[in-house]
């Protein structure tokens, strides 16, 4: 029996409130349990929805990349390691019903896919797309590592010029850490856009690229 307080916390972390909470409960029920209903079918659905969300994002955010590079990016983004990291950040392991003594990366990744499938059934593709992209926006270094040949600042600048958005502003929001090991947080501002995009990195350049990557993800939804 799931604790309603824990389910509410998970929904807050996910950034989505379910209309039918049964979908979330099912997504958090692993096939190792004795429960006749588990999350395997939702995992199947969520895998397909995730692939479409990431494919569309890659297509719109990286117009200069050929099909092969887009496929590589998608593969890196939906790999078990990345999905498990997102699932852990959402604390899905704390409420997952399973008979496994240890929840490994594969189980975490599968659970995240099941949750994505649950959101899709409870809402629609547009809402699911928005929620999923926010999941990955919390992993800025992963976004920047998707394509070694891609400079997100350059892409964002070209996008802004193409859509006549005006000048993009980058400014230092904060700097923490020790002098020999700093951590920069850069704020990216787009003209005529109320949203602010933040990126972190060991240098201003890396932080700016991560901020630009988040801006690109936002623009892909517009």
Q: Which of these is catalytic: 43, 47, 110, 122?
A: 47
Cα dihedral 73→198→82→38 (10° resolution): -120
Residues 6+ apart with CB under 8 A from 101: none
Burial of residue 51 (number of CB atoms within 10 Å: 0-12, 13-18, 19+) = middle
Closest CA relative to residue 47, chosen from 27, 20, 24, 30: 27
Interatomic CA distance for residues 207 and 219, integer angstroms: 19
CB 46 within 8 A of CB 116: yes
Of the candidates 111, 122, 95, the one whose C-alpha atom is nearest the C-alpha of residue 22 is 122
Query: 81 catalytic, yes or no?
Result: no
Q: Which of 67, 81, 97, 113 is catalytic?
A: 113
Q: Is 145 a catalytic residue?
A: no
Nearest to 170 by CA among 185, 157, 187: 187
Active-site annotation, residues = 47, 113
């Amino acid at each position: 029996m799931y604790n309603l307080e824990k389910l509410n916390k998970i929904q807050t972390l996910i950034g989505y409130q379910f209309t039918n909470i049964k979908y979330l409960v099912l997504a958090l029920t692993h096939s190792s349990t004795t429960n006749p209903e588990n999350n395997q079918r939702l995992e199947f659905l969520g895998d397909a929805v995730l692939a479409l969300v990431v494919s569309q994002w890659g297509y719109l955010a990286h117009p200069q990349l050929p099909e092969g590079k887009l496929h590589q990016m998608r593969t890196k983004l939906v790999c078990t390691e990345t999905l498990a990291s997102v699932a852990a950040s959402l604390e899905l392991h704390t409420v997952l019903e399973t008979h496994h003594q240890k929840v490994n990366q594969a189980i975490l990744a599968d659970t995240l896919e099941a949750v994505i499938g649950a959101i899709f059934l409870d809402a629609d593709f547009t809402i699911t797309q928005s929620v999923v992209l926010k999941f990955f926006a919390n992993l800025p270094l992963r976004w920047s590592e998707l394509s070694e040949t891609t400079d997100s600042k350059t892409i964002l600048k070209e996008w802004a010029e193409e859509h006549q958005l005006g000048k993009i502003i980058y400014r230092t929001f904060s700097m923490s850490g020790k002098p020999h090991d700093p951590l920069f947080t850069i704020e990216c501002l787009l003209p005529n856009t109320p949203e602010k995009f933040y990126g972190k990195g060991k240098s201003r350049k890396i932080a700016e690229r991560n901020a630009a990557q988040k801006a690109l993800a936002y623009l892909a939804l517009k």
